[in-house]
Amino acid sequence: MLQRAWRLFKRGQRLHRRGRIRDAEQILVEALSHLDWDPERPPAAGTARARLTAQVLMIRSTNLAQMGEPAAGMRLLDSAEAFVFPQDRGMLLHQRAFNLWQSGRLADALRWFEEAEPHLAENGPENLYAGLFINRALVWRDLGELRKGMESIQRAIELYDRIDVPANRAKAIHLQVMLWLDLGEVTKALAAFDSVREQFRTYAPELEAFVDASYGDALLYVGMYRQATEHWTQAIVAHQRAGERRNAAICEFWRAVTAFEERQFEQAEQWAEQAMQSLYEQGNEPVAFLARLLILQGQFDSEQEGPDFADRVLRLCDALENRGWALRLNQARILAARARIRSGDLEGVEAILQDDHGGPGYEALAEGLARHLAKAELVIARGADPMPELKAGLDQLDEYRMRFGSVEFQAGVSALGVQLAGRGLVYTTNNGTPSEMLWWVERSRAQGLRIPPVKSATEPDARESLGRLRQARQELWNLQVEGKDASRALQRVRELEENIRNYDRTTPGPGQQAERIAPEDLHQLAQARETVVVNLYEVGGDIRAILAGGDGLRHSRLMPLEAASELERRLGADLDALGRPFKLPPRLQTSVEGSLRRNAAALAEGIWEPIDDYVGDRQVVIVPHSRLAWVPWPLLPQLRGRPMTVSPSAEAWWRAVRRERATGPALVAAGPALSRAGGEIETIAGLYPGANLITADESDPEMVLKALDGASVAHIAAHGHHEPDNVLFSRLDFGLGPLNAYELLGLDQPPGHVVLSSCDLGRSTVAVGNETLGFTAALLHAGTSTVVSSLGRVPDDMAAEMMIEYHKRCVAGATPAEALAAVGEHRPWHPFVAFGA
C-alpha cells in the first residue's frame, strides 16, 4: 500500500505543478486513503508512512489554498507538524508561508519564508528551494517592492537553470516578465509573453491561463479596456475549470477594475461584488477590501457616495495598512481626500496629497494622475486656478505615451487621462478665455498624432507575416466565393492578424513628440488662409465650439450632444441606404433622400446656425467631437458647395498645411470587382503626366505600397473594408491581396494627397480615450496632408463620375477642398469628405 501511495503522491505532485489543481486533489486524497490517514490516529513519527503522509498533507494544503480554502490547508499543516521528518521541515514551513500569502497575510508569509530558507537550502528538495524564491517574489510584488521581487525571481531562475523542472522554470520566467510589466516595461514584457506561452503549452498547458491574465494587465495599462476584459474573462474560465478558485477571484477583481476604468460602473460593481464575496469566503481579506474600495470608487465617480463616505474609505485604508498591504493603498487615500474635498471638509487634505513617492510602472502612473486630479479639485475648492495641476498630470501621461510604438497603444493611453482632460475642459469653459479653451481642447485630443510613427511594418519579420496574411486572406476569399466552409481559413487570418498586432505592440516608442501650437498661431494661420477652424467639444451635455480665423477667437454653445449624435446615426443610415449596390425603387429613393435632407437641416440648425455669422463665406475646417466623427458635413445646407475639410485636431490641420509635400509621380491604381474602375483610372492617370498606372488585373499591394512612397498624389479605386474591432487591418482589396492600414505607417514619404474613391474608409473607430483609428486616420498619422474618402457605400458609377471631375479641377489648380466642394454642390447626396487640410 505504501508503494501505491508513493506513486499516487508523485502523480499528484506533477499535476499540481502543471496547475491541474482539482485533478491533483483527487489523486492526493486517494493517496491518503492508501496511507490510512486519520487525523485522530496520526502515524508514528519517524516511520516511512509518517514521512509520506506529511508530504502528501503539505501538497494538499497548497491545493486547498488555491481552491479557496486556506484555513483547511493550514489545519493539514498543523496535523503534519507532529510527525514531519526533520529533513522535510523546510517544506512544511514553506507551505505555511505560501498559504499565508494566499490569504493576503503578506508580512507573516515573508517571516515564514525566511525561516524555511535555510532548511530548504540544506535539505532540499531543490525544486522547492527554487520555488521559495518564486513565491517570495510574489509576496514582494503584492507589497509593491518590485526591485526586491526582481532580485528574488532572478535567484529562482538561476536555480532552475540547474534543475530539470521546465514547467516551474517557465513559471519563474513568467513572473520575471510580470515584474517587467509592473516596472513599466510594457513592450519588453509583451515581447516575452509569447515565449512564456509557448513554454507553458509545451510543459504545462493548464498554466496558459496565467498568460491570458498577464495580457489583461498589459492592456489595462494602456487603456485598451475591452480587449483587457476579454483576456480576464478567458483566464477566469480557465482557472475555474482547473479548480483554482483563488486565482479566479483575483482575476474577477481585475476585470472589475477594467470595467470601472471604462466608466461602466454598474458592470464594475457587479463584478467587484462577485470577487469580494468569493475572496471573503476564502479568507483573503486584503483583496476583498480592494474590491470593496473599487465599489466605493464607482459610487463616488457616479456621485452616489452618500454620507460618511470618506470615513468608510479611510477605515478600509487602515484595515489594509494593518495587514501590511500596499497595492492601491495610496490611491484609496486619494479617493478619501477627494470625497472630503467634495463635501467641503478641506482640513488635513493637503497633507494626504503631498505623499507622492513616484516610481515606475502603471500603478505609480495611476496614483500620480489621481493625485494631480485631487490637487486640482482642492485648488478649485479654494477658488484658485487648477490648470497647472491638470497640465502636470497630462504631461506625465505624455511621457508615458511616448514609450509605445503601437498606434493602438498610443490612442488607448489617452483613456488614462480622461478625467483630467474633462476637468480642464469644464474649468476653462466656465472660467477661461476662448484662447485658453482652445489650448485645452487641443491638449485633450489627437495626442497620438503628435508622435512620429514607428515603422515596425517594414521589419523583415513583420513583412513576412504580412505576406502570409495576404495569402490567407486570398484563400479565405476564394473559399467564400465558392461557397465552401471557410471557418479554418478565417481562424488562420485572425491568428496572423493577432501575431502582427502583437509584433507592433512590442515595438518601443520614439520617445519624442511634436511641439504644441499656440492658439494665436492657429488663429493667424486660419486668418491668412481665409479659413475658419470650428473645434467642437462637449461640456455639460452640450456641444461647444471654439472658432478661430474670423474676428477674434470665439466660444459658442450649440445643441445637446445626444441629439446631434442621434442625427449623425440617422444620416449614416440614410447614406448606407442610398449607397446600396442595387437601385432603390423611385418612391423609396425619394423618401430616403428626403430623410437625409431633413436630418442634415436639423443638424445644421443646431450646430451651424449659431456660428454662421462668424464663419461668413470663408472656407471651413471642422474638428469634430469623437461622437460626431461620421457626420457627412458637406451635406449640411450651409456647407454644400463650400470648401471644407475635417481634421482630427486644429494642431493636426496646422501641421498638415505647413508640411512639405512629396513631388514624385502620381499613382493611380484599381482593385478588382469595380464595374467602372478601368475607365476611371485610365482617364485620371491621363491627367497626370508620368503617372504610375496599376490596373486591377495586375494590382499587387506590394507594388501599390512602393508606388505610394513619394507620390505627389494617389488615387485608388478599390473596394475597402473598415474593421471597427481590428482597425489596423482595415484594408483595400487588390488582385494579389489586401493592403492593410498598418502598412501605411511604414511609408518614408507618404503622398501629400490621397483619394480613396470606393467604400467607407473615411469611417473610424473611436478608442476609449477619444482617439480615432482607421484607414484614413492611418494615412494622416503617416504624414499625408489630405485624404478624400467616403463615409458610406458609394455606387461605382457615382464614384467614377465624381472623381474624374474632381481630379480635373485639382489639375487646374483647385485645392482638394475646393475641388470636392465644386463636384458635390449639385449632387443631392454623396458620402465623400476631405480629411486633413
Between the alpha carbon of residue 421 and those of residues 383, 388, 391, 461, 723, the distances in Å are 19, 12, 9, 38, 28
- Could you tell me if residue 223 is left (phi over 0), alpha (psi between -120 and 50 degrees) or otherwise beta? left
pLDDT of residue 307: 84
**Residue 430: which of 567, 591, 555 has the closest Cα?**
555
Please answer whether residues 730 and 692 qualify as being in contact, where contact means their C-beta atoms are separated by less than 8 angstroms.
no
Please answer whether residues 827 and 782 qualify as being in contact, where contact means their C-beta atoms are separated by less than 8 angstroms.
no
Which position has the grid cell 519517524?
46
Please answer whether residues 272 and 253 qualify as being in contact, where contact means their C-beta atoms are separated by less than 8 angstroms.
yes
* Residues whose CB is less than 8 angstroms from the CB of residue 598 and which lie 6 or more positions away in sequence, other chains included: none
How would you list the strands of the sheet with 731-734, edge to edge?
A: 720-721, 731-734, 737-740
The C-alpha atoms of residue 506 and residue 521 are separated, in whole angstroms, by: 37
Which position has the grid cell 499540481?
16
Over the Cα atoms of the chain, what is R_g? Answer: 31
The C-alpha atoms of residue 799 and residue 677 are separated, in whole angstroms, by: 9
Q: How far apart are the first and last CA of the chain?
A: 83
Between the alpha carbon of residue 71 and those of residues 64, 99, 221, 252, 716, the distances in Å are 8, 8, 34, 22, 68
SS3 state at 435: helix
pLDDT of residue 582: 73
b/e sequence 380-395, b meaning 16+ C-beta within 10 Å: bbeeeebbebbbbbbe
Task: Count the neighbouring beta carbons within 10 Å of the beta carbon of residue 614.
Answer: 18
Please answer whether residues 500 and 462 qualify as being in contact, where contact means their C-beta atoms are separated by less than 8 angstroms.
yes
pLDDT of residue 429: 97
pLDDT of residue 630: 86
SS3 state at 650: helix
Please answer whether residues 191 and 456 qualify as being in contact, where contact means their C-beta atoms are separated by less than 8 angstroms.
no
* Residues whose CB is less than 8 angstroms from the CB of residue 388 and which lie 6 or more positions away in sequence, other chains included: none
Q: What is the mean pLDDT of each run of 10 residues along the chain (837 residues)?
A: 88 87 91 91 92 93 90 93 94 95 92 96 93 96 91 96 91 96 92 91 90 93 92 94 91 95 93 95 92 94 88 90 84 92 90 75 90 95 95 94 90 90 95 96 89 84 86 86 88 88 87 94 97 96 97 96 95 85 82 92 95 96 92 92 95 94 93 74 93 89 93 91 78 88 89 86 58 81 92 80 94 96 87 92
**Strands 713-717 and 692-694: what pairing?**
unpaired
SS3 state at 10: helix
Which position has the grid cell 492611418?
778
Task: Count the neighbouring beta carbons within 10 Å of the beta carbon of residue 237.
Answer: 14
Q: What residues does 732 pair with on adjacent strands? A: 720, 739
pLDDT of residue 761: 63
The C-alpha atoms of residue 114 and residue 132 are separated, in whole angstroms, by: 9
Model pTM?
0.89
Amino acid at 210: F
pLDDT of residue 480: 85
HEC string of 511-577?
CCCCCCCCHHHHHHHHHHCCEEEEEEEEECCEEEEEEECCCCCEEEEEEEHHHHHHHHHHHHHHHHH
Please answer whether residues 49 and 31 qualify as being in contact, where contact means their C-beta atoms are separated by less than 8 angstroms.
no
Task: Count the neighbouring beta carbons within 10 Å of the beta carbon of residue 81.
Answer: 14
Please answer whether residues 113 and 139 qualify as being in contact, where contact means their C-beta atoms are separated by less than 8 angstroms.
yes
b/e sequence 528-547, b meaning 16+ C-beta within 10 Å: ebebbbbbbbbbeebbbbbb
Please answer whether residues 179 and 137 qualify as being in contact, where contact means their C-beta atoms are separated by less than 8 angstroms.
yes
pLDDT of residue 421: 94
* Residues whose CB is less than 8 angstroms from the CB of residue 53 and which lie 6 or more positions away in sequence, other chains included: 32, 35, 37, 42, 43, 80, 83
Which position has the grid cell 463650400?
642
How many residues in total does the chain contain?
837
- What is the distance of C-alpha 710 from the center of its chain? 32
Residue 194 cell numbers, joined: 509569447
